[in-house]
């Protein structure tokens, strides 16, 4: 064994890589389980890749055969039902994990200098993941698949001047049809590999700036511990908990995330009584509906996803860490989380009078929180520094930071 590794090491930096990125890689000693969701996301990506490749061996990307090939997978393919439920549940699990990962970043201010680029590569991953999930949802060729794809491709008609041509180009026809299905399948197979590439970039950025930690204080070398074995074990324990929940759904409630309308084959002549996107798009969908104008709605929805990238600049406080030492920021964070759940509820229901109003208020609040943050964060910084209630080290760090920015 030693000889083999030695042979490889003389030709490829295998042991050096393991040492540098794993057994010697310095990690803050105080990371909580909230820091385990990046690993979980990587694990779910592997589940999706593996189950997806095996599904593709039995699936037929043809508008006449697609719906029936899903039935074939469910009834006749050995363990086809299992592989498909692992994949469909995995999509939702992926979003649960990624949204939690993002919420942790927002709460602890992990997006702040010097981790801007790390945060942005994460944003890119989110966009790729949303595109992949959206295209994958068309493949079963059910009613909800078909009409979801119709509505979302139609959003591009908001493009100035060439909107209609763009929509026809995206669909490869005058409506969502066979050409749309085949290209969505091709891209749904391609995108996970782009995601894998972006994950590597995300990890290189992470290992350059290192992990943030719950205290928000930049740790000295002696406060770091090697990633392996400490965090491999911690991550694996977290994985065990995650898999309990994941398999509980796969085995006991596998249709939880599958809309009943999708058991009806796609029919271009009949829209289902109510169109609801997958749960992970609901808040953004509610924002789209809350603006009483097509272009305005599309712009607001796009902005609601992209605006996260501005966080390193919107948060102007120089007090270290995110919400831990900043009560006002913490309150804003919780209001924001509640607002997202409210938007999700609104997005899942028909826009009747009261809910419509709630949606509009929640949409306004969503953007107001982002736009007020530059002022609120600076105001809170002044307040906290004047009150002198911060721990001395945190106070000192903030003062140094402020002095540094004046140089």
Partner 1 sequence: MCTHKLNDVDGPRRDFLGSLTAAVAGAGAIAASVPFVSSMNPSSDVLDKATVEIDIARIGIGQEKTVAWQGKPVFVVHRTAEEIAAMESSNGGKDPEADQNRVQHPEWLVVIGICTHLGCVPNKTAQGWLCPCHGSIYDNSGRILSGPAPKNLILPPYHFVSNDKIMIGKAS
Q: Which residues are catalytic?
A: 207, 211, 234-235, 278
Nearer to partner 1 among residue 42 and residue 272 (C-beta): 272
**CA separation for the pair 311, 374 (Å, rounded):** 9
Nearer to partner 1 among residue 337 and residue 361 (C-beta): 361
For the CB of residue 272, give the shortest distance to partner 1 in the complex, in Å.
Answer: 7
Answer for which of 169, 193, 230, 237 binds partner 1 (CB under 8 A) is: 169
Do the Cβ atoms of 73 and 81 come closer than 8 Å?
Answer: yes
Please report whether residue 220 would count as binding partner 1 according to CB under 8 A: no
Query: Which string of x and - marks every residue 117-156 that binds partner 1 (by CB under 8 A)?
Result: ------------------------------x--xx-xxx-
My answer on whether omega of the bond before 390 falls inside 30° of 0, hence cis, is no
Please report whether residue 160 would count as binding partner 1 according to CB under 8 A: no
Nearer to partner 1 among residue 15 and residue 293 (C-beta): 293
Please report whether residue 64 would count as binding partner 1 according to CB under 8 A: no
Three-state DSSP class for residue 226: strand
Nearer to partner 1 among residue 42 and residue 172 (C-beta): 172
Do the Cβ atoms of 41 and 122 come closer than 8 Å?
Answer: no
Please report whether residue 163 would count as binding partner 1 according to CB under 8 A: no
Q: Which helix or strand (DSSP H or E) is residue 225 part of? A: strand 224-226
Please report whether residue 272 would count as binding partner 1 according to CB under 8 A: yes
Nearer to partner 1 among residue 146 and residue 246 (C-beta): 146
Answer for which of 275, 305, 307, 337 binds partner 1 (CB under 8 A) is: 275
DSSP states of 108-159: TTTTSTT-HHHHHHHHHHHHHHHHHHHHHHHTT-BHHHHHHHHHHHHGGGGS
Distances (CA, A) of 260 to 47, 127, 263: 25, 27, 6
Query: Which string of x and - marks every residue 174-213 that binds partner 1 (by CB under 8 A)?
Result: xx-x-x---x------------------------------
Please report whether residue 359 would count as binding partner 1 according to CB under 8 A: no
Q: In sequence order, what are the residues at sequence separation of 6 or more whose Cβ sits closer than 8 angstroms to the Cβ of residue 220?
A: none
Q: In sequence order, what are the residues at sequence separation of 6 or more whose Cβ sits closer than 8 angstroms to the Cβ of residue 289?
A: 297, 346, 347, 351, 359
Distances (CA, A) of 112 to 27, 65, 106, 365: 18, 49, 9, 23
Instruction: Point out which span in 20-28, 113-121, 168-176, 320-328 binds partner 1 (CB under 8 A).
Output: 168-176
Please report whether residue 254 would count as binding partner 1 according to CB under 8 A: no
Binders of partner 1 among residues 293 to 322 (CB under 8 A) are 293-294, 297
Residue found under tokens 């530059």: 374
**CA separation for the pair 19, 23 (Å, rounded):** 5
Instruction: Point out which span in 227-235, 253-261, 266-274, 313-321 binds partner 1 (CB under 8 A).
Output: 266-274
Instruction: Point out which span in 11-19, 135-143, 251-259, 268-276 binds partner 1 (CB under 8 A).
Output: 268-276
**CA separation for the pair 95, 285 (Å, rounded):** 16
Q: For binding to partner 1 (CB under 8 A), which residues are involved?
A: 147, 150-151, 153-155, 168-170, 172-175, 177, 179, 183, 268-275, 289, 292-294, 297, 350-351
């Amino acid at each position: 064994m030693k000889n083999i590794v030695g042979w490889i090491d003389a030709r490829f930096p295998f042991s050096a890589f393991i040492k540098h990125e794993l057994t010697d890689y310095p990690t803050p000693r105080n990371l909580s389980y909230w820091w385990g969701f990046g690993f979980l996301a990587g694990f779910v990506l592997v589940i999706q890749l593996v189950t997806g490749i095996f599904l593709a061996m039995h699936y037929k990307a043809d508008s006449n055969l697609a719906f029936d090939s899903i039935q074939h997978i469910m009834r006749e393919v050995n363990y086809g039902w299992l592989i498909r439920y692992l994949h469909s549940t995995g999509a939702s699990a992926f979003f649960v994990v990624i949204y939690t990962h993002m919420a942790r970043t927002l709460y602890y201010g992990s997006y702040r200098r010097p981790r801007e680029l790390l945060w942005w590569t994460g944003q890119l991953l989110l966009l790729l993941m949303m595109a992949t999930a959206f295209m994958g949802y068309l493949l079963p060729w059910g009613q909800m698949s078909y009409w979801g794809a119709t509505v979302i491709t139609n959003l591009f008609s908001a493009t100035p001047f060439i909107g209609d041509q763009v929509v026809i180009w995206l669909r490869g026809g005058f409506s969502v049809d066979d050409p749309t299905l085949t290209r969505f399948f091709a891209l749904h197979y391609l995108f996970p590999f782009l995601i894998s590439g972006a994950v590597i970039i995300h990890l290189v950025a992470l290992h350059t700036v290192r992990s943030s930690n719950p205290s928000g204080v930049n740790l000295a070398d002696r406060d770091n511990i090697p990633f392996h074995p400490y965090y491999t074990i911690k991550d694996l324990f977290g994985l065990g908990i995650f898999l309990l929940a994941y398999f509980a759904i796969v085995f006991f409630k596998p249709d939880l995330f599958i809309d009943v309308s999708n058991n009806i084959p796609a029919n271009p002549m009949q829209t289902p009584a109510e169109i609801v996107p997958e749960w992970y798009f609901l808040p953004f969908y509610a924002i789209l509906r809350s603006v009483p104008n097509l272009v305005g709605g599309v712009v607001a929805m796009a902005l609601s996803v992209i605006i996260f990238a501005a966080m390193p600049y919107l948060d102007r406080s120089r007090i270290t860490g995110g919400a831990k030492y900043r009560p006002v920021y913490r309150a804003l964070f919780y209001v924001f989380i509640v607002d997202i759940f409210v938007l999700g509820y609104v997005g899942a229901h028909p826009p009747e009078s009261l809910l419509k109003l709630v949606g509009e208020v929640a949409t306004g609040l969503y953007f107001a929180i982002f736009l007020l943050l530059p002022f609120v964060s600076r105001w809170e910084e002044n307040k906290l520094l004047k009150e002198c209630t911060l721990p001395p080290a945190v106070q000192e760090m903030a003062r140094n930071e402020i002095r540094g920015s004046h140089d």
